Structure formats: C-alpha cells, structure tokens
C-alpha cells in the first residue's frame, strides 16, 4: 500500500507511524506541497489552510497512492469530494509551547516568532507590547531561526514526536492559548469509494480522537476556514460527552471571544457553539468590524 505524505521530518515520522499500524505492507511516497515550496511567503499569501495537503490529496484521488497522511491541523474544514478521512490515530498533546523564555519572563517589546495568526492574536491579547516576527519552516528550522528572538511558538506534539527537548520551554494552558483545530491529531484519508481501504482503516481508528476533532472541525466549518483566521478550538472528553472550548479574535488581539459548550453529539456540539459565537459578533471580529 502506498502512503502519500509531505517530506518534512515530522510528516515522515507520522507516515512511518501509520505504516507501522497498518495490517498490510506499505511504502511511503513523499510529495512536495505548495506550502513546502513557498517558504518565503506567509501562509495567508499562498492560500491559508490546505496548502500542505492539496497535492497529496490529488495523488490519492488519481489512484497514485492509496492513502494520505496529514497533520489534523493542516486539513481544511470542508471535505474534498471523492475523499474521506477514514481514521484518526490517538492524539498527542494538542497544546502550544513557547520556547526560549516562559511567558511571564518575556521582556517589554519581546520579539516572538510564529507564522500562526491564531497564536499571534492570543499572545497580543495577553501582551500587546510584543512584536510578532513571521517564522516559517519545519520545527528544527524555526527553532534555529528563533535563536535571535526572545521566544518561538511550536506545537507540543511535534516536540514530543521528534524527541526535541529545548532547554527553556513552557507548555501553554488552553485557558491562555487555545490550539489550532485538530492540532496533535494524525488524519488518514482515502478515496470514498475504496471500500477495502475504508474497512482496513476503520480497524485502526481511534474513536475518541475522531469524535473530539469532529466537534472542533464542525465549529470551524461554520466560519469556512482555518489557519488564515484567528480561530482556535479544543474538545476534550468529559465522561460520555465532550467539552468544546473555542476562541475567535481580531488579528491584533484587541478583541477575543471565548466560549465553551458540552454535549455528546460532536457535529451538533460544534455547530451550536459556532452559532453562539456568530450571535456574539464573531463574524464582525473576523471581518475587522469589531464593534459590538
């Protein structure tokens, strides 16, 4: 079975993990994506969410690979016709990490590296004096470039999976920094009409991760995008139900809406919470019209 993935160290780690749990022999095909090629431009400039997955998805659609492996946070909230996310592996720590200094030790006017509008908005809400420095590339590249800055944002899951242990790192509570929808989760996608592969992937699907990410993605889908807007969300199991926390902000962090809801049906939970945000003015915030 051919597995399509990006060529970054983390993407290859994820693809190898998938290969190790599949019940059939597999080989990995590395695909260069638009997001990999345009490292000198921001994610918003090159199209936002989807720039790390489109070429990989096309390989599966055109029968050049059986499955695609993605970081959950890279997937657009809208499904692609002809494809289905057939399995999610157990989620790693979804939280964000500040590397270089802990939050309370950032000096006045600190320079903090990130390409994430979501992270930037939440940090600016806490520390409007901070200067955000655009920083792209794989995790080791960003950590290397960030040595000239006061701190750099990375994902806890990436540090754990690649066994990277920075000397100074603070895992940020979701109360301060809600993660990207799907962060820490690994998605496996295949053709919607490939019944044999769908059945095989169902056998390795982690239902708890699937349900949590489904709630988050249902919230995001109401707003129609992902990493190009300052939106965060995290669903966590609470007995037989899930608690979904979410955030919508202005780009400069001057206005931040936060809210939560609890329920047992993930799609309904995400949609209902999103609609409550719309009633509170979330669309005005996202469009730059942030008055109440």
Residue 144 designated active-site: no
62 CA to centre of own chain: 26
CA atoms of 3 and 36, how far apart (whole Å): 18
Choose, from 36, 74, 150, 194, the residue flagged as catalytic.
74
CA atoms of 225 and 237, how far apart (whole Å): 25
Q: Which residue has the tokens 């990277």?
A: 164
CA atoms of 115 and 119, how far apart (whole Å): 8
Which positions ≥6 away from 258 have C-beta within 8 Å? 178, 245, 246, 247
How would DSSP label each residue in 228-274? TS-EEEEEEEETTEEEEEEEEE-TTSS-EEEEEEEES-HHHHHHHHH
How many CB atoms sit inside 10 A of residue 145's CB?
A: 15
Q: Hey, which residues are catalytic here?
A: 74
């Amino acid at each position: 079975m051919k597995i399509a993935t990006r060529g970054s160290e983390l993407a290859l780690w994820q693809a190898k993990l998938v290969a190790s749990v599949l019940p059939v022999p597999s080989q990995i095909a590395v695909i260069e994506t638009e997001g990999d090629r345009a490292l000198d431009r921001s994610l918003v400039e090159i199209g936002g969410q989807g720039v790390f997955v489109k070429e990989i998805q096309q390989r599966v659609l055109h029968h050049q690979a059986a499955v695609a492996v993605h970081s959950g946070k890279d997937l657009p909230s809208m499904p692609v016709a002809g494809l289905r996310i057939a399995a999610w592996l157990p989620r790693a720590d979804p939280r964000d990490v500040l590397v270089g200094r802990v939050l309370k030790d950032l000096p006045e006017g600190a320079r903090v590296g990130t390409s994430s509008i979501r992270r930037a908005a939440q940090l600016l809400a806490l520390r409007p004096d901070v200067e955000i420095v655009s920083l792209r590339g794989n995790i080791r590249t960003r950590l290397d470039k960030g040595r000239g800055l006061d701190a750099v944002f990375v994902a806890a899951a990436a540090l754990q999976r690649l066994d990277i242990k920075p000397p100074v790192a603070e895992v940020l509570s979701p109360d301060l920094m809600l993660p990207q929808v799907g962060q820490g989760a690994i998605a496996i996608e295949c053709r919607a009409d490939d019944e044999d592969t769908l059945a095989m992937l169902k056998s390795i699907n982690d239902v708890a991760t699937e349900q949590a990410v489904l709630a988050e993605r249902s919230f995001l889908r109401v707003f129609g995008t992902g990493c190009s807007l300052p939106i965060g969300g995290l669903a966590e199991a609470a007995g037989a139900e899930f608690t979904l926390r979410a955030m919508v902000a202005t780009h400069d962090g001057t206005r931040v809406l936060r809210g939560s809801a609890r329920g047992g049906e993930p799609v309904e939970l995400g949609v209902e919470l999103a609609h409550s945000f719309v009633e509170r003015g979330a669309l005005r915030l996202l469009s730059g019209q942030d008055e109440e």
